[in-house]
Chains A and B, each alone.
Chain A
């Protein structure tokens, strides 16, 4: 049996040198014992010369070993050497999380990571004054030897503060410029109190809900072994003890009646919530407000808001699209998303000033299907189009357009109140009684066309349709008309 004595408990460099030498000498794991620091001598100790492994060691292993040596398990050096030994014949070993040795090493790493995390969680600084001003000192007993691992976290967080973290294994201190380490100390070296801890305990107690007592869920994360260094833990027994009574008092206490004002408000909102058919909007602004309360179909439920039309109170030309899309739904304005930008470009090319036209949709709420973090456009059905036609009719009555252009088949259904075909009915006006109706494609159609040629052809036709509609409505193509009147 060979015994390797490492300089100290976290002597990764020493372990690495010895392990390399032993491995290249072919010393099997069973024939080596590992020890560190000043422990009693158990047998013949060896000094190992520098050596090199006769095979490449994967980086994952070196990183794992670096973590594992910080664990307090006395068998950690032997475990690491056994893994190194096996790596020669099993080069993929580090990927086999299901292997017993790998699983154990991973478990140790997890323990080390948890201990480092707990240091970040549970360090409680106490303020002390010295000749240079305020400094902050903490005492903590980490489960593993992770102080050096976690210290940079405090440097980054408290770079402009002087602080020290004291532990039985080692101490770290930061003077505002450099981090230094010194040997461990006893608890008595740390400050005994900080007046702010009383305020912190008050917060801790007040943020606890006695009706949700779950002691095990707390101790799983904050085991009792840590409590002696946590100022807030002092009040935990009292909180647990009083929880039952406090919760029962809340449940048993007499109710408070809502204020009269609230009772009236509830009655009013119940009335408002059911949409009233007898309501008649008297302006386009009214339409915008009232459509928010619309319950004529269910689409309002998953939409952000109703998006009514936009434009002057009177306009000779009205455009009707399908429904607001994702962007329109968020912003509350029609035709601002990708199809809206396409529409704007086409209007500009046709010399139609959008600001002089009224732009709206057949359906006022965004119909969609959730897909993870996206909403996918869904086509409104005939029932929804019919339900929403009520709003379109009101907009037509108020805006009094001479010409109405339906953009796409859904808009066609709404404007003509019957199924229409863009390809068949395009290019000639229909008499709608109060106005003339035209149909053309929806600008989103242009976005969907795959080939460049098809897109260019469709674009020309679309622009021509817009221009024809504008002329039919009596609009003029003054130079720069597209920038508004």
Chain B
């Protein structure tokens, strides 16, 4: 085999890693390099250093250590039966590349995953070696996200948590039986066990108020996971139920939804079509509603059609249109939880309205100054100078709002 130069390896191993949607570098504890020998800082917030033409942010150097893999997961570009070019980085090469990019302010840190080579423990050990070298040899204080290889031993997970800010194990598919069918070597139980280990690790890293001993650090930025959308037949309500269960069970920071995308050399067992990007977008919106707006999965599922979210309107508007008896709400008196359910009002808008109304009665033009589109809000609220009258209950309200709405960022036609 010809020896690949570093740039070519990077192209192969970045291409191989890009189907993982996780990009954030958030949640880490505040730290700087002022009292250290190396470089790096985090303050809990994610910084995006570039955006590629798919609209995704580049925050971390997201690569695989190798795309050689003994597994044959049908949805994955790196499965053993795929004919993509293969490459493998040495531990030192990943360390050098990370430092070189970080030093030039291209990245916030490293997101490292790998194909399964030899066995789970060997692979996990390689990932841990990279993180250990960055932290111990170079006093690197930037962000590190390590992928957990399911079935890796608990002591390796423990060590990974010592060096990494965030860990993740991908649940891959919303339905367990599709995982069985598409990824025969993977087992949903071992994936969940890995998540369980992370949760237990994080709980044991909390300082004990009795002994006051400072336990070893463990993945302070928590864990995330990814679900591929559109590869199996799972409906949106199933996907959201799965997310709800994962958030509750393992204290995840994020569930990433990744529209199944055509890959070079794809398997005969999967659909070859444009990725369902709008569906992915609606799932993120619904996920947001569950985490920050007090919606339950059941409420969102209740306003879906046959378990699928409406692609024409966002899930909050879909819910409001189904539950019009709850509207209009009075902007000058309604409670925060109620205001959060008004279409077109986000968390920030609601907080501003609540602060403002202590000083003056809100009129419609006041509201317009703190929200993106007053046209969407108007049918659902009462203000000092406004009542929607019959508007709230009009049969064609949905059509009117869809027509009035500025187009959402959609996938551009491939013909351009």
Residues of A within 8 A of B (CB): 92-93, 95-100, 103, 117, 120-127, 136, 138, 153-161, 194, 196, 198-200, 202-218, 220-222, 230, 232, 236, 239-240, 243-244, 247-248, 250-251, 253, 255-259, 261-262, 265-266, 268-270, 273, 292, 301-305, 329-332, 368, 370-375
Complex contacts, A199 vs chain B, CB 8 Å: 6-7, 10, 97, 100
The answer to whether A261 and B72 have CB atoms under 8 Å apart is: yes
Interface members, chain B 79-106 (any A CB < 8 Å) = 79-83, 97, 100-101, 103-106
Selected interface stretch from B119-127, B157-165, B262-270, B317-325: B262-270
The answer to whether B362 and A248 have CB atoms under 8 Å apart is: no
Interface members, chain B 31-57 (any A CB < 8 Å) = 32-34, 36-41, 47-57
Complex CA gap A315/B348 in Å reads 61
The answer to whether B184 and A265 have CB atoms under 8 Å apart is: yes
Could you say which of A157, A247, A256 contacts B262, with CB atoms under 8 Å apart? Answer: A247
Could you say which of A212, A232, A253, A270 contacts B50, with CB atoms under 8 Å apart? Answer: A232
Complex contacts, A121 vs chain B, CB 8 Å: 47-50
Complex contacts, B411 vs chain A, CB 8 Å: 212-214
Contact flags (1/0) for B234-258 with A, using CB distance below 8 Å? 0000000000110111010000000
**Min C-beta distance of B61 to chain A, whole Å:** 7
**Min C-beta distance of A281 to chain B, whole Å:** 18
Complex CA gap A3/B98 in Å reads 54
Complex CA gap A89/B184 in Å reads 72
Complex CA gap A247/B262 in Å reads 8
What would be 22 A-B contacts, judged by CB atoms less than 8 Å apart?
A97-B352, A125-B105, A138-B105, A155-B34, A156-B41, A159-B33, A159-B39, A199-B7, A199-B100, A207-B15, A212-B259, A213-B412, A214-B411, A218-B51, A218-B52, A218-B53, A244-B415, A251-B273, A255-B268, A262-B72, A266-B180, A373-B248
The answer to whether A304 and B10 have CB atoms under 8 Å apart is: no
The answer to whether A202 and B54 have CB atoms under 8 Å apart is: no
The answer to whether B104 and A217 have CB atoms under 8 Å apart is: no
Complex CA gap A127/B261 in Å reads 38
The answer to whether A161 and B39 have CB atoms under 8 Å apart is: yes
Which A-chain residue is minimally distant from B55 (CB atoms)? A217
Could you say which of A125, A214, A370 contacts B104, with CB atoms under 8 Å apart? Answer: A125
Complex CA gap A379/B41 in Å reads 47
The answer to whether A160 and B245 have CB atoms under 8 Å apart is: no
Residues of B within 8 A of A (CB): 6-7, 10-12, 14-15, 17-19, 32-34, 36-41, 47-58, 61-62, 72, 74, 79-83, 97, 100-101, 103-106, 176-177, 180-181, 184-185, 189, 192-193, 195-197, 199-200, 244-245, 247-249, 251, 259, 261-269, 272-275, 277, 291, 297, 352-353, 355-356, 358-360, 362, 366-367, 369-370, 409-412, 414-416
The answer to whether A203 and B61 have CB atoms under 8 Å apart is: yes
**Min C-beta distance of B157 to chain A, whole Å:** 12
Which B-chain residue is minimally distant from A332 (CB atoms)? B193
4 nearest interchain CB pairs?
Answer: A217-B55, A370-B248, A98-B366, A214-B55
The answer to whether A214 and B262 have CB atoms under 8 Å apart is: no
**Min C-beta distance of A116 to chain B, whole Å:** 11
Task: Known A98-B353, A213-B54, A221-B57; judge A120-B47 contact (CB<8 A).
Answer: yes
Task: Known A256-B265, A265-B184, A373-B251; judge A206-B105 contact (CB<8 A).
Answer: no
Which B-chain residue is minimally distant from A258 (CB atoms)? B81
Which A-chain residue is minimally distant from B291 (CB atoms)? A372
Complex contacts, A258 vs chain B, CB 8 Å: 72, 74, 79, 81, 267-269
Which A-chain residue is minimally distant from B360 (CB atoms)? A96
Complex CA gap A248/B17 in Å reads 21
Task: Known A159-B36, A371-B248; judge A97-B14 contact (CB<8 A).
Answer: no
The answer to whether A253 and B409 have CB atoms under 8 Å apart is: no
Task: Known A213-B412, A250-B263, A265-B185; judge A204-B370 contact (CB<8 A).
Answer: no
- Which DSSP category, helix, strand, loop or mixed, fits chain B's interface? loop
Complex CA gap A305/B193 in Å reads 7
Which A-chain residue is minimally distant from B83 (CB atoms)? A256
**Min C-beta distance of A294 to chain B, whole Å:** 11
The answer to whether A304 and B416 have CB atoms under 8 Å apart is: no
Complex CA gap A138/B34 in Å reads 21
Complex contacts, A207 vs chain B, CB 8 Å: 14-15, 17-18, 52, 58, 62
Task: Known A126-B104, A209-B54; judge A331-B267 contact (CB<8 A).
Answer: no
Could you say which of B38, B353, B359, B415 contacts A160, with CB atoms under 8 Å apart? Answer: B38
Task: Known A126-B104, A375-B249; judge A208-B52 contact (CB<8 A).
Answer: yes
The answer to whether A96 and B356 have CB atoms under 8 Å apart is: yes
Task: Known A208-B18, A330-B200; judge A160-B36 contact (CB<8 A).
Answer: yes
Most A CB contacts (10 A, CB to CB) among B83, B196, B251 go to B196
**Min C-beta distance of A343 to chain B, whole Å:** 20
The answer to whether A269 and B180 have CB atoms under 8 Å apart is: yes
The answer to whether A255 and B101 have CB atoms under 8 Å apart is: no
Task: Known A207-B62, A331-B196; judge A220-B409 contact (CB<8 A).
Answer: yes
**Min C-beta distance of A417 to chain B, whole Å:** 29
Most A CB contacts (10 A, CB to CB) among B6, B103, B176 go to B103
Could you say which of B32, B51, B79 contacts A222, with CB atoms under 8 Å apart? Answer: B51
Given A273-B177, A372-B248, 4 additional A-B pairs, CB 8 A: A212-B55, A217-B51, A250-B263, A304-B196
The answer to whether B192 and A209 have CB atoms under 8 Å apart is: no
The answer to whether B14 and A212 have CB atoms under 8 Å apart is: no
Which A-chain residue is minimally distant from B142 (CB atoms)? A157
Complex CA gap A375/B244 in Å reads 10
Task: Known A194-B104, A200-B106, A269-B180; judge A370-B81 contact (CB<8 A).
Answer: no
Could you say which of A125, A206, A213, A220 contacts B15, with CB atoms under 8 Å apart? Answer: A206
The answer to whether B181 and A270 have CB atoms under 8 Å apart is: yes
**Min C-beta distance of B129 to chain A, whole Å:** 22
Complex CA gap A330/B366 in Å reads 50
Task: Known A159-B39, A370-B244; judge A239-B409 contact (CB<8 A).
Answer: no
Which B-chain residue is minimally distant from A206 (CB atoms)? B14
Could you say which of B48, B53, B266 contacts A250, with CB atoms under 8 Å apart? Answer: B266
Complex contacts, B189 vs chain A, CB 8 Å: 292, 304-305
Most B CB contacts (10 A, CB to CB) among A121, A155, A196, A304 go to A304
Complex contacts, A160 vs chain B, CB 8 Å: 33, 36-39
Task: Known A157-B33, A207-B62, A256-B267; judge A202-B416 contact (CB<8 A).
Answer: no
Which A-chain residue is minimally distant from B368 (CB atoms)? A98
Could you say which of B6, B55, B251, B268 contacts A256, with CB atoms under 8 Å apart? Answer: B268
**Min C-beta distance of B353 to chain A, whole Å:** 7
The answer to whether A218 and B356 have CB atoms under 8 Å apart is: no
Complex CA gap A98/B370 in Å reads 6
The answer to whether B55 and A159 have CB atoms under 8 Å apart is: no
Task: Known A157-B41, A262-B72; judge A221-B51 contact (CB<8 A).
Answer: yes
**Min C-beta distance of B360 to chain A, whole Å:** 6
**Min C-beta distance of B54 to chain A, whole Å:** 4
The answer to whether A214 and B53 have CB atoms under 8 Å apart is: yes
The answer to whether A202 and B7 have CB atoms under 8 Å apart is: yes
Complex contacts, B101 vs chain A, CB 8 Å: 196, 200, 203
Complex CA gap A368/B250 in Å reads 13
Most A CB contacts (10 A, CB to CB) among B56, B81, B248, B251 go to B248
Complex CA gap A145/B112 in Å reads 37
The answer to whether A161 and B103 have CB atoms under 8 Å apart is: yes
The answer to whether B261 and A204 have CB atoms under 8 Å apart is: no
Could you say which of B40, B53, B244 contacts A213, with CB atoms under 8 Å apart? Answer: B53
The answer to whether A250 and B262 have CB atoms under 8 Å apart is: yes
Which A-chain residue is minimally distant from B349 (CB atoms)? A97
Complex contacts, A156 vs chain B, CB 8 Å: 32-34, 41
**Min C-beta distance of A307 to chain B, whole Å:** 11
Complex CA gap A236/B38 in Å reads 33
**Min C-beta distance of A63 to chain B, whole Å:** 16
Could you say which of B37, B53, B272 contacts A240, with CB atoms under 8 Å apart? Answer: B53
The answer to whether A256 and B245 have CB atoms under 8 Å apart is: no
**Min C-beta distance of B155 to chain A, whole Å:** 15
Task: Known A98-B353, A98-B366, A218-B53; judge A259-B80 contact (CB<8 A).
Answer: yes
